[in-house]
A and B are shown apart, each in its own frame.
Chain A
Amino acid sequence: MPPAKTEVLQGTLDLILLRLLRAGRANGWDLTQSIQTVSRGLLDVNYGSVYPALRRLEAAGWAKASWASSENKRRARYYTLTASGRKQLVAEQAAWERFSRAIGLVLQSD
């Protein structure tokens, strides 16, 4: 029996991708695998939705994209975090932490 999975909250996918891209250049498939690995399979990410999210990051100027060949000698689109993407990550991470702490406080109160 696989562990129960959690749906990704609306809007948090961008944050996850920004965080994962901080480690370095990656393509879409790499990122889906990373999400599974890092979240220990707990996050139920629709793999397809990663791609529009990456395009959003690109359009916002947070990530840069370029084509390169992947390990299996296939052409893949690689995304790199930009300077403004790094700043965005810091801002979004701080916002998320505030949010989750607030939710935590609410839930722990009697």
Chain B
Amino acid sequence: MLTGVLARLRALLLPGTTRDEIDEELRSHCDREIERLIASGMSLNAAVAAAQHALGNATLHRENAREAYGWRWLDELRQDLRYALRNMGRAPALTAVIVAILAMGIGPNAALISYLDARLADAGAVDANGLVRVSFRTAQAPGTKLTADEFGEFSRRQQWFESVARTVQKRAAVTIDGAQSTVDVQLATGSYFHVLGLRLPLGAAIPAIDDHAPDPPRVAVASFRFWQTALRGSPGAIGRTVNVNGIPITIVGVMPKDFDAPELTLPYATRRALSLDETESERNTTRQWDGVLGRLRPDVRPAQAQAGSTAIAAAIRKAGDPFGLISRATLSPFVLPGRFGFAMQRSAPLSIVSLLILLIGCANVSILLIGRAVNRRREIAVRLSLGASRIRIVRQLLTESVLLALMACAAGVLLLVWASKILWLRYPAVPDLAPRWSAAGATMAFSVLTGMLFGLLPALHATRTEVGDALKDGIAGLDVRRARLQRAFVIAEVALSITLVCATGLFLNGFRGMMAIHGYAASPRVLLTDLDFSSAHYSAARQAAFLDEVKANIAHLQGVRTVGFSDGVPLSPEMGHWGLGVPATAGMRFGAINSRVARITLIDSAFFEAMGIAVTSGRDVSRSDSAGGPRVAIISHDIADSLWPGASPLGKVVRIRKNGRWLDSHHFSFDTLQAVVIGVTAPIEQEALLDATSPLSGQARSTRATPPDRSMIFLARSQWPDSGNGTLIVQSARPDPALALAIEQDIRAADPRLPFTPVISAEAYQRAPFKGIDAAVNGLTWSGALALLLACVGIYAVIAFAIGQRTREIGIRIALGARAGQVAWLFFRDGLALSIAGIAIGVPLALLIMRLMVVRELGPQMLAPLAVVWITAGLVGVAALASWLPARRAAAVDPLTALRSE
């Protein structure tokens, strides 16, 4: 067997030698035969003739002998490639255009393939099979958390999941080697690591600890990032002790690299010991790492589990709960939070867009190739008439297009390596898009498929020819059929381009919409930092003293206008919904028509000025609104409108429920407090942020459908002494990077132990949840621009090509006395008419496809009709230009030359 393989390999690797040897063998045979015949008495001439006759068709035998090794297809491929290269060399400009178009189409897809390849490799760390995230909402709030008791009840009553876990996101002060910082942590129920099925790269997962264990082990699993930075990436970090809110905790494990968990994951049972207990006020605030995870039983469908979870959750929450009854539970596939989850979610629209771009590219190239095939009909007819089989010619043409695709693949990948370097310089968050070697094979295969895709139709078209017609055609000149075909191409090209560009635009639009930040325009002149009093165990008096000192010091810095403080800014998604109502009747019930859910912010007298929010009627909070005086409130415009329509809210009383807690398992109690409305602010929109963070946290899409909640109520901080952490707001005269450093120094000078976040501008603060998303939007924008560019290039190429084909006709017209301008106008009109025909097909098609995509929730919003008009107008403009320029050029040609063309 091995001998055979070796012989075949030798024939493959040394085709020249094999051919020579076969020749030699046949020659040697003839010589010996001739010798034999002469020896038997024949003359030399007769012997030569007889020997050759006995041998038969030597050429055929030679060919057959070579084919015996089974490499015939390879020989043919070699021939085809040579032929294809020769053909490309004959039309270098066309080849370059085709390669460029395809490269632009293949490049983004190659990027995506390597991106997904890299991410999928990372995904190995978690067993995502059947893993889902369960999120809950009430009629009013887009997101609500299950309390510990509610979760316990849910966990007992549910029957669709093998197990469920719950996490609660908190912030904690962490001290390592004396250095303190405030970091995100999560409290995870005992089942957490079991549900996730995580394989940790270092150390071990936290074992299942009873969530109510009286003395739980004080252990934590660090995130990969935290391990790399704070713990210096040392394997010795396992077993180390760090202080969390002053309590020593032992690090037992490290999360996988792309599992973007908060810095520390702690057992839920340790919440009391670490002063990380849940607060009632945060119940309707769902942050990135808040939520319920579950692993579906293999025999349960997600829809089943979702319906069941909704029913249970609705029953669990007791009537009269101030945070509202749970109206719905939503299951979404658990994508790993953070980078990987984000990658998957982001890549869905990206991959559709990049496929659309490739489709435009393929359509263009396909049409160009059909155009060229029309041109090559004579050549193909000659080959057919010489006996080439149709399949052989189709194969040859396909070889040509696959070769083009591979060239484009190489060009696209080079482009990508270059582009990803440039992108990386601007946006370090952009992942390295340069194709990894492991993805190179997939990219190549993809390119070959692409080549087949755009090459097959032209090849079939080219070979479906009546040999006689084609041979005559070239001589006959004007060809009605060909002209009709080319007109059809132009129409098809315009229609396709409109459809595809609109579809791409729709995605871009939807993606941008998802990211959009509405309302309050954050200024680069406003600087913010979050101060963490609770980790530092500040008393109310100490807080006040600290704030007075820091505010006074910062106010003296050069360029500072105002220094304010509040327990949150309307830029942050992390503000709670609290109940708010008007005491219309004595037995007022929250949740009734005359109540609203609003976000409550505790502010000082400088808040509105520092944030640049206008108080449109009434007055601002002032220093005279002290702890002893009547409590005051400033409400946002829309609360005023909905609670007191048509009347002035000033002087009215609002009742606010705050600090709610369960007395026992049936009774809920809060402090209901009253405040007098003293002012109304201009409209504030901020909740869009919450929705925008959903791709990060992997929440269900449905939250996006809720309108932005702009309801806010501002209370004087001085009148609520128990208020805790908050944000320091500094407005300066102009953006000044040095100011941030000065502010940080002032805070440290006042108390070196107080944890606070780096001072950043309100703009950066607002955009913080979008790090990375920005890069994706940029990528999409570039892709969209590319799609448009491709469509333009395609339309131009097709029309210009069609006109170029009619050079002879133009020559005849000129020779018959038409003026150049007349001819150009004729073609211009013609091109325009074709484009309009294309629009007539393309626009309804685009609308239909967009409608379908909207219905299937592929893109959230319909593209504005105006955008469709703009896209259409732009493409018609290109078509007009494409008709005008080549027609002018053709008309300027000497008629004799024109007549001789072809």
Contacts and interface: CB of A to CB of B under 8 A. Distances in A.
Interface of A: 27-29, 32-33, 46-49, 51-56, 58-62, 64-65, 70, 72, 74-77, 82, 84
Contacts of A32: 29, 33
A6 B639 CA distance: 108
Contact of B68 (A59, A72, A84): A59
B56 to A, nearest CB: 4
B736 to A, nearest CB: 81
Contact of A55 (B3, B24, B55, B68): B68
Contacts of A55: 22, 65-66, 68-69
B57 A48 contact: yes
Centre residue among A27, A54, A55, A60 by max chain B CB count within 10 A: A55
Given A48-B60, A55-B69, A77 B21 contact: yes
A33 B37 CA distance: 12
Interface stretch (B4-12, B275-283, B527-535): B4-12
Nearest to A56: B68
A47 B55 contact: yes
A40 to B, nearest CB: 17
B96 interface: no
Given A46-B56, A59-B70, A51 B3 contact: no
B213 interface: no
A48 B55 contact: yes
A46 B4 CA distance: 25
Interface in B481-497: none
A7 to B, nearest CB: 13
B672 interface: no
Contact of A58 (B35, B58, B68): B68
Centre residue among A46, A47, A70, A84 by max chain B CB count within 10 A: A47
Contacts of B56: 46-49
A76 B7 contact: no
Nearest to A85: B3
A32 B28 CA distance: 13
Interface of B: 1-5, 7-8, 11, 21-22, 24-26, 28-29, 31-33, 35-36, 54-58, 60-61, 64-70
Contacts of A49: 56, 61, 64
Contacts of A27: 28
A72 B26 contact: no
Contacts of A47: 29, 33, 54-56
What 5 pairs across the A-B complex have the smallest Cβ distances? A61-B4, A55-B68, A52-B64, A48-B61, A48-B56
A28 B25 contact: yes
A24 B72 CA distance: 31
B68 A52 contact: yes
Given A59-B69, A82-B3, A51 B28 contact: no
B111 to A, nearest CB: 44
Chain B interface, DSSP helix/strand/loop, else mixed: helix
A56 B7 CA distance: 10
Contacts of A60: 4
A76 B32 CA distance: 10
B65 to A, nearest CB: 4
Contacts of A70: 28, 32
A61 B3 contact: yes
A76 B8 contact: no
A104 B32 CA distance: 39
B7 A65 contact: yes
15 contacts: A29-B33, A48-B58, A49-B61, A54-B65, A58-B4, A61-B1, A64-B3, A72-B35, A74-B28, A74-B31, A77-B21, A77-B24, A77-B25, A77-B28, A82-B3
Chain A interface, DSSP helix/strand/loop, else mixed: helix
A103 to B, nearest CB: 28
A51 B22 contact: yes
B29 A58 contact: no
A70 B29 CA distance: 11
A82 to B, nearest CB: 6
Contacts of B7: 58-59, 61, 65
A28 B31 CA distance: 12
Given A52-B61, A61-B2, A74-B31, 8 more contacts: A49-B61, A49-B64, A52-B64, A52-B67, A58-B4, A59-B8, A59-B11, A75-B28
Nearest to A31: B29
A69 to B, nearest CB: 10
B229 to A, nearest CB: 63
A33 B32 CA distance: 11
A62 B4 contact: yes
A89 to B, nearest CB: 15
A48 B33 CA distance: 12
Nearest to A60: B4
Contacts of A48: 26, 55-58, 60-61
A72 B33 CA distance: 12
Contacts of B3: 58, 61, 64, 82
Nearest to B18: A55
B68 to A, nearest CB: 4
Nearest to B6: A61
A75 B27 CA distance: 10
A51 B32 contact: no
Contacts of B55: 46-48
A61 B58 CA distance: 25
Contacts of A61: 1-5, 7
A47 to B, nearest CB: 5
A62 B11 CA distance: 16
Nearest to B8: A59
A56 B60 CA distance: 15
Given A61-B4, A84-B1, A29 B32 contact: yes
Given A58-B7, A61-B3, A70-B32, A51 B54 contact: no
B250 to A, nearest CB: 67
Given A51-B25, A59-B70, A74 B54 contact: no
B348 to A, nearest CB: 50
B68 A29 contact: no
Nearest to B27: A74
Nearest to B21: A77
Nearest to A74: B28
Nearest to B24: A75
A32 B33 CA distance: 10
Nearest to B25: A77
Contact of A51 (B1, B11, B26): B26
A28 B26 CA distance: 9
Nearest to B36: A33
A82 B24 CA distance: 24
Contacts of B28: 27-29, 70, 74-77
Contacts of B21: 77
A11 to B, nearest CB: 14
Contacts of B61: 48-49, 51-52
A53 B56 CA distance: 14
Nearest to A84: B1
A64 B6 CA distance: 10
